[in-house]
Amino acid sequence: MPDEKVRLGVIGLGGRGRYFARNYHKHPEAELVALADPDPGALDRVRPVFGERIDYYDDLNEFLSREDMPAVVIASPDFAHRDNAVQALAYEKNVLLEKPIAQSVEDADDIIRAWNRAGTVLCVGLELRYSAIFVEMRRIIDEGRIGEIMTGIAVDNVSVGGNYFYHDRQRRKDYTVSLLMQKGVHTIDLLNWFMGAGRPTKVYATGSLAYYGGSAPNDRRCRDCDEADECPFFIHHQRFQMDYDVTIEKEDLCVFAEEADVNDNSQVIITYESGKSAVYTENHFTPEYTRDFWFTGDVGKMYAQYNNECNFIIRNQYRHSDHVDEWRPRSTGGGHGGGDPLIQQTFLDWVRDPEKMDVQMTLDARDATCVGAAGEVSIETGMPVEIPAPPALDL
């Protein structure tokens, strides 16, 4: 089907699902044919956008049974990823699955096994791999500029953590499980990828809820709060701007509510099968919104910073030398530093030609999620946690 448009549907019509739907609807190589969400209200909200040119489903089996729709995007809430992906793969659909792949090691491996049985495309939304800065970092590392990487550090500084995660049910562990997965999986994947040290085999982690949560009633909302004018966490629930250029409606519950129990800072030590190690940390109440990386090799050291304004920088220092190299990659345009449109194109390319599929990238997505899931278990138990090898594949 190299010359045909890829006919696809989207599952889950939150902000991210609507974003995918709009982009594929106008993509010259795709044809959006259906949308699915168990909430009829979510379907009603998108009908004015797409009209009757496409079909709408609140029954997932009916949606997936369409034989004229070989590809689906799964943008449902994280807790639904396992069931939605396994079901879609059982119908032998090609799947673009939003990160994290799932919320536990066991659920991630259920998806890997379903993918193996289906023999179709599974692409996980690691769009940051396609951002200009990370493409350039990969090139510089592959050229051996800093030699063999021995250690790595990655830091997620999340100035918007309160507004993104603590105004709604994402602030509860019984819904989100851990921000190490919901937020951290992007950066954890990049850390693992650049380390090149084999798959992660063990983590030890600490973390806490240091800033958010508190004594506010669980039903207090920004729209009704008498402190709204002074509160730095006030949001307008009908016009909330996401960092991938989308405005959505969002819950505006108080970030200092009693029920908030998801850790707002975490520190994870990762051990790889090669014996090398790396450190990942995230903090959701910092003043800046950046991803920072340090990689130390046997020749030199790399520092890199990504921010949402796309003011990217990569800087190398070298042992026994005062010489410094610096690169300032430019975004190619689009959300996530240019990564969003590129991973959307990658999925279409893989569906057209499955031999192009990067199987290892999908397994890496599983490993990044497993680091987050095992890290949360380690925080709760105070003990190191082993990460099992993924299920065997015969794709």
Residues of the chain with confidence (pLDDT) below 70: 1-3, 243-246
pTM summary value: 0.95
- Does 365 map to a domain? no
The structural domain count of the chain equals 2
- 298 and 346 housed in the same domain: no
- Does 374 map to a domain? no
- 32 and 136 housed in the same domain: no
- Does 141 map to a domain? yes
What pLDDT score does 39 carry? 95
- Does 384 map to a domain? no
- 148 and 215 housed in the same domain: yes
What pLDDT score does 259 carry? 97
Q: Measured between alpha carbons, how far is 69 from 91 in angstroms, rounded to an integer?
A: 11
- 29 and 166 housed in the same domain: no
What pLDDT score does 115 carry? 98
What pLDDT score does 244 carry? 59
Query: Is 145 in a helix, a strand, or coil?
Result: coil
- 89 and 187 housed in the same domain: no
- Does 363 map to a domain? no
- Does 296 map to a domain? yes
- 113 and 199 housed in the same domain: no
- Does 373 map to a domain? no
- Does 120 map to a domain? yes
Name the residue range of residue 200's domain.
129-327
CATH, residue 48: 3.40.50.720
Query: Is 270 in a helix, a strand, or coil?
Result: strand
What pLDDT score does 3 carry? 66
CATH, residue 242: 3.30.360.10
Q: Which two tokens stand for residue 87?
A: 């079901």
For 249-266, give the DSSP string.
----B-TTBTT--S-SEE
- 202 and 252 housed in the same domain: yes
What pLDDT score does 335 carry? 87
